Amino acid sequence: MLKNTLKWRLEFKPEKIRWEDIANEAETGKVYRANYLDKKGRTVLIFRPGFQNTSGIRGQIRHLVYCMENAITTLNPDQDQMVWLIDFQGWTMSCISVKAARETAHILQNHYPERLGVGILYNPPKVFESFWTLVKPFIEPKTYKKVSFVYSNGPQSQKLMEELFDMDKLDCAFGGRNSAGFNYEAYAQWMREDDKKKFDMMNCGSSSPLPSIMSESQSSETLTPSGISMASDEDDSSSGDEKTLNLENIDEKTQGLPLSGEDVAVSEAVDIVKELKKGELA
């Protein structure tokens, strides 16, 4: 994995991506770094998949990589993982691009392993819960345990958020008391300042792209921005054929049944999972 990541970094050059290269992708705040940490001092990345504003996959991936690199370089010295807050406002099944999801999973799984400390899926719609059930068999238990479904009207959910965050700093979109929200102009200025610091350090020879390759544990599990965990098959006793068969069994069980609106969405989810696994097993 390390060899492949070094090769990828030499070709993709993630450390050289600047704010100006991805500024148009960031206009809606679909992925951005929060200006606060969790109570353990971990960097917080916010994902809003319902705010997708472009169709070009290369631009979307460059934006994601820029956000990951920025988040990693701002981690506290005693931290190598971050918190992901995924806001499902405006999200529907139509927001999922199989090709983009596959590429995102590949990048995060192979080149940013074990960066997830906690994943919060905030107010996911019912159809996503069905989708999650379908992909759960492909998720390593240690990854699954890091992900929590959180609902704004749930007392236990509120308690969890209070344990993780200072509620005065947490965005009101996640039940906090900070109503500032995402401000594109202010965020752009912040990122330009971060870029200047990073490139000044690189020009002085005191920084290297290598520290952001892997976390210390170098595990192969990760969570995609759409909230779907994709785990490595290295430690999985199930073969690719068995996994494909499981999906076929799901498909067979749904054939011939009357479909409600939610059933149709679940059927679409099955197709999406099949496509993701097809790309992974190819």
According to DSSP, residue 257 is labeled S
Place of tokens 């492949």: 4
Domain count for the chain, please give it.
1
Using CA atoms, how far residue 70 sits from 18, 109, 177, 199, 208, in Å, is 10, 18, 26, 12, 13
Among the residues of 89-239, which ranges form H helices? 98-111, 126-135, 141-144, 155-164, 184-203
Q: Among residues of the chain, what percentage have pLDDT more than 90?
A: 50
pLDDT confidence of 68, banded at 50, 70, 90?
very high
Copy the structure tokens of residue 161. 């958020």
- The predicted model scores a pTM of 0.74
| Domain membership flag for residue 265 | no
What are residue 229's phi and psi, to 5 degrees? -75, 140
Closest CA to 174 of 144, 150, 154: 150
Kindly report the CATH number assigned to the domain that includes residue 187.
3.40.525.10
Q: Collapsing DSSP states into helix, strand and coil, what is residue 46?
A: strand
| Domain membership flag for residue 260 | no
Buried/exposed code over 208-225 (b: 16+ C-beta within 10 A; e: otherwise): eeeebbbbeeebbbbbbb
| Domain membership flag for residue 282 | no
Q: What's the rounded Cα separation, in Å, for the pair 216 and 113?
A: 9
Q: What's the rounded Cα separation, in Å, for the pair 227 and 223?
A: 6
Among the residues of 23-151, which ranges form H helices? 57-73, 98-111, 126-135, 141-144
- Per residue in 13-34, pLDDT (tens digit) is 999 999 999 999 999 999 999 9
- Span 57-85, average pLDDT: 95
- Per residue in 45-55, pLDDT (tens digit) is 999 999 999 99
| Domain membership flag for residue 154 | yes
| Domain membership flag for residue 142 | yes
Q: What's the rounded Cα separation, in Å, for the pair 55 and 23?
A: 15
pLDDT confidence of 259, banded at 50, 70, 90?
very low
- Per residue in 200-230, pLDDT (tens digit) is 888 886 544 444 455 555 444 444 443 333 3
Closest CA to 44 of 29, 31, 59: 31
- 201 Cβ contact partners less than 8 Å away, ≥ 6 residues apart: 207
Structural domain containing residue 182? 2-238
Using CA atoms, how far residue 120 sits from 224, 236, 261, 268, in Å, is 12, 25, 26, 24
- Span 101-111, average pLDDT: 81
pLDDT confidence of 271, banded at 50, 70, 90?
low
| Domain membership flag for residue 267 | no
- Per residue in 176-200, pLDDT (tens digit) is 999 999 999 999 999 999 999 998 8
Q: Is 267 left (phi over 0), alpha (psi -120 to 50) or beta?
A: alpha
Question: Exposed, middle or buried, 110 (CB in 10 Å: 0-12/13-18/19+)?
Answer: middle
| Domain membership flag for residue 274 | no
| Domain membership flag for residue 43 | yes
